[in-house]
């Protein structure tokens, strides 16, 4: 959202980013740099009623939730932001001409309708995922199947199939039936939006962009990869959270270590900001990285029984054994800065769309390990459509709160094999060439007169007209 807001402001638009205090703290330095550069970019904070809903003070983001049991309270708390947002829209000067919202905040549609302005959804996923989701909802091809049954998604340019257990929660809820009503409500609400802004670029998934535009009547604007608006090390380091900032000792240590490595030799491994992989499964990842014999940076969140995993690290002597060859980061990492470094030659990823795009835009081949949500869809894009990665063999969605039920499904040997296929220069030459070309295409798309630049122009031109469906 910050990247999108900066791009809009850079085109002469007055932009206000609305968030909560804890989230504002994460992005404040980036916003201030944008303001100091002359952009009309404002930050407006709405108090988040954490304690009123039984949440810890300052718990204003899903990645801060203590347990899955707090998710419903979090969603209910978020809905109370509607009143303050309505007040802001009524009093704001200049008067807002458009609301761009995440799908999860469906109540922002009411605010837009009351104000008579367009309601645009910003999607943090791919056109492939959105088109697959639409076709499954319409066809109901997933219904009345067992978890291990294969689902062939109809109406796609490519023959694409998944096991039911790999589909997102909307189609494969696991035990989380409590949230199924909310998922369906959000999906139905999204259908009434006046258009979609998607973080992708047309050349990446051209046929799926066409398919989605047929569904939405051309009101689809592909404006990414948004991460490429971060051109300098300061913006890359501070993107997303305050874990690393310019001059930070940990950042200097990381960059010094990367500088000491051979070009294209390092594997960067990160399973995302919402990583809740059980300790036993994380051990397999660590041992797979060790067995690969390759230099690596491993970002370890430890959100699920982190203390138990740290105890294993100490008792096993893991960090001592990999010292010098492996660099461990606990918590947030400056991902774009790492991926852009010359010594990094591969990316082990959970296939979240932001991470997938960042790997694509830096021209890196990927080792794929999808966990939940749209990630198995994104893996299919990487492996089958683009052919720039190798999978570790993940078989099932890891539902929030049900991680222990799944157990250990990916073993160290399969991780080692996938890493070798990606990092071995002779074996991965075709994959590496394709990844490099995609990285070049991504950058061209964001430049003036590129496809994403032009789509952003088209959105700005349309947003001044009546976008609301008659």
Domain ranges of the chain: 2-227+446-462, 245-443
Average pLDDT value over all residues in the chain: 90
Tell me: the pLDDT tens digits for 385-438?
A: 999 999 999 999 887 767 777 789 999 999 999 999 999 988 899 999 999 999
Residues of the chain above pLDDT 70, percent:
91
Q: What span, in angstroms and rounded, lies between the C-alpha atoms of 259 and 273?
A: 25
Q: How confident is the model at residue 205, as a pLDDT?
A: 97
In the structure, what pLDDT confidence band is assigned to residue 242 with cuts at 50, 70 and 90? low
Other C-beta atoms closer than 10 Å to the C-beta of 390 total 23
In the structure, what pLDDT confidence band is assigned to residue 143 with cuts at 50, 70 and 90? very high
Q: What span, in angstroms and rounded, lies between the C-alpha atoms of 81 and 452?
A: 32
How much is the average pLDDT of 76-94?
93
In the structure, what pLDDT confidence band is assigned to residue 19 with cuts at 50, 70 and 90? very high
Q: Is 2-227+446-462 in CATH node 3.30.70.20?
A: no
Q: How confident is the model at residue 4, as a pLDDT?
A: 95
Tell me: the pLDDT tens digits for 279-307?
A: 899 999 999 999 999 999 999 876 556 78
Q: What class has domain 245-443?
A: alpha beta
Q: What span, in angstroms and rounded, lies between the C-alpha atoms of 63 and 274?
A: 6
Q: Give me 186's structure tokens.
A: 């959000």
Q: What span, in angstroms and rounded, lies between the C-alpha atoms of 27 and 185?
A: 30
Closest CA to 153 of 173, 174, 130, 133: 133
Q: How confident is the model at residue 177, as a pLDDT?
A: 59
Q: What span, in angstroms and rounded, lies between the C-alpha atoms of 71 and 209?
A: 32
Q: How confident is the model at residue 272, as a pLDDT?
A: 87
What DSSP assignment string belongs to 177-204? GGGHHHHHHHHHHHTT-S-EEESS-TTT
Could you tell me if residue 92 is left (phi over 0), alpha (psi between -120 and 50 degrees) or otherwise beta? Answer: beta
Domains 2-227+446-462 and 245-443 agree in fold: yes
Q: How confident is the model at residue 377, as a pLDDT?
A: 97
Its pTM stands at 0.92
Helix or strand or coil: residue 41? strand
Alpha helices in 11-70 (DSSP H): 21-36
Helix (H) or strand (E) holding 348: strand 344-349
């Amino acid at each position: 959202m910050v990247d999108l807001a900066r791009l809009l402001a850079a085109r002469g638009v007055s932009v206000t980013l609305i968030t909560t205090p804890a989230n504002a703290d994460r992005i404040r330095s980036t916003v201030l740099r944008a303001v100091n550069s002359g952009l009309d970019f404002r930050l407006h904070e709405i108090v988040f009623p954490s304690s009123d809903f039984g949440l810890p003070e300052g718990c204003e983001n899903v990645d801060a939730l203590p347990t899955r049991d707090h998710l419903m309270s979090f969603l209910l708390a978020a809905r109370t932001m509607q009143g303050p947002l309505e007040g802001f829209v009524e009093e704001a000067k200049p008067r807002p001409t458009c609301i761009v919202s995440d799908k999860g905040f469906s109540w922002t549609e009411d605010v837009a309708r009351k104000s008579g302005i367009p309601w645009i959804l910003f999607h943090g996923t791919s056109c492939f995922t959105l088109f697959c989701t639409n076709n499954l909802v319409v066809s109901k091809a997933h219904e009345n199947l067992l978890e291990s049954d294969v689902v062939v998604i109809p109406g796609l340019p490519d023959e694409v199939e998944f096991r039911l257990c790999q589909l997102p929660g909307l189609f494969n809820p696991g035990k989380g039936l409590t949230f199924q009503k909310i998922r369906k409500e959000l999906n139905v609400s999204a259908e009434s939006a006046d258009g979609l802004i998607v973080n992708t670029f047309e050349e990446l998934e051209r046929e799926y962009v066409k398919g989605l535009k047929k569904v939405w009547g051309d009101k689809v604007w592909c404006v990414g990869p948004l991460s490429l608006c971060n051109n300098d090390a300061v913006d890359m380091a501070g993107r997303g959270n305050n874990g690393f900032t310019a001059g930070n000792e940990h950042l200097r240590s990381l960059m010094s270590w990367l500088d000491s490595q051979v070009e294209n030799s390092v594997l960067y491994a990160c399973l995302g900001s919402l990583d809740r992989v059980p300790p036993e499964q994380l051990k397999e990842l660590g041992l797979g990285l060790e067995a690969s014999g390759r230099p690596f940076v491993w970002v370890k969140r430890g959100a699920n029984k982190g203390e138990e995993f740290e105890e294993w690290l100490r008792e096993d002597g893991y960090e001592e054994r990999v010292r010098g060859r492996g660099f461990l980061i606990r918590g947030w990492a400056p991902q774009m800065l790492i991926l852009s470094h010359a010594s990094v030659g591969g990316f082990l990823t959970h296939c979240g769309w932001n991470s997938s795009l960042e790997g694509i835009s830096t021209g890196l081949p990927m080792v794929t390990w999808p966990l939940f949500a749209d990630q198995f869809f994104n893996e299919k894009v990487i492996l089958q459509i683009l052919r720039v990665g190798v999978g570790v063999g993940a078989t099932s969605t890891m539902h929030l709160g049900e991680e222990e039920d799944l157990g250990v499904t990916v073993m160290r040997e399969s991780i080692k094999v996938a890493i070798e296929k990606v990092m071995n220069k002779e074996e991965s030459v075709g994959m590496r060439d394709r990844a490099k070309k995609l990285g070049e295409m991504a950058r061209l798309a964001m430049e003036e007169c590129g496809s994403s630049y032009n789509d952003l122009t088209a959105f700005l031109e349309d947003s001044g007209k009546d976008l609301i469906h008659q």
